[in-house]
Amino acid sequence: MFTKKPESGESVTKMGERSGELKTPFTERPATYSTKSPSAASSKMVPSIIGEDLSITGNVTSKGEIQVDGQIQGDINCGSLLLGDKSQVMGGVVAEDVVVRGRVVGSIRGLRVTLQAQSHVEGDIVHQSLAIEQGAYFEGKSRRSDDPLGEVKAPVGASPRAEGRPEAEGRPEKASGFDSRPQGETAVIPPRAAE
């Protein structure tokens, strides 16, 4: 009913192909072997893509490359990061290579950081190399460091002198004067208790 009978002189192969049309049988194909080491192969991995229609609340971690075209409310830690034109990140970014075309509200740490013309960054940048194209919006502090990824544990604006000091009257001391809250968010300071 669903099979076509071979014409005279033709034989049918296992997959339903006519042997006259099949130039090289599947079983006779030469095997291909990769001479690259596993680490070299992993460096050519396809990037993980967060599409325009995707919104993530939480931290995103990868050893490889991430391309973001959607929204992330949380921190990103990866090997290489490309933030597309319509991307929005509300959180910190840590990567060896960072290319920003979209919007970031939070700190960026990277060996090589590039803010392209259409980018909008509100937050501090700690970098080994920084490139800002004409037309990019950047509001924050930038600081060059020989090891920006190794300083991840210390806050961007913290000074070494402020570490180890006790808090004054239950409020944390502000070492840098930089307010890390997103723009438009206000701080609520409780009234002091009567002494």
For 91-101, the pLDDT digits (tens) are 999 999 999 99
Between 160 and 71, the more confident residue is 71
Beta strands in 27-174 (DSSP E): 48-50, 55-57, 60-61, 65-68, 71-73, 76-83, 88-90, 93-100, 103-105, 108-115, 120-122, 125-132, 137-139, 142-144
Q: What is the mean pLDDT of residues 118-134?
A: 97
DSSP-derived letter for residue 28 is G
Check residue 179 and give its pLDDT.
46
Q: Could you give the CA distance from residue 16 to residue 6 in angstroms, rounded to a whole number?
A: 10
Write the CB contacts of 133 (distance below 8 Å, at least 6 apart in sequence): 114, 115, 116, 117, 119
Reported pTM: 0.58
User: Position of tokens 């229609």?
Assistant: 53
Per-residue pLDDT at 167 exceeds 70: no
| Domain limits, the chain | 46-143
* pLDDT confidence bin for 45, thresholds 50/70/90: confident
* pLDDT confidence bin for 192, thresholds 50/70/90: low
Q: What tens digit of pLDDT does each residue of 18-37 get?
A: 444 444 444 444 444 334 44
Helix ranges (H only) for 44-134 are none
Check residue 15 and give its pLDDT.
47
The torsion angles phi and psi of 43, rounded to 5 degrees, stand at -75, -15
Q: Could you give the CA distance from residue 130 to residue 127 in angstroms, rounded to a whole number?
A: 6
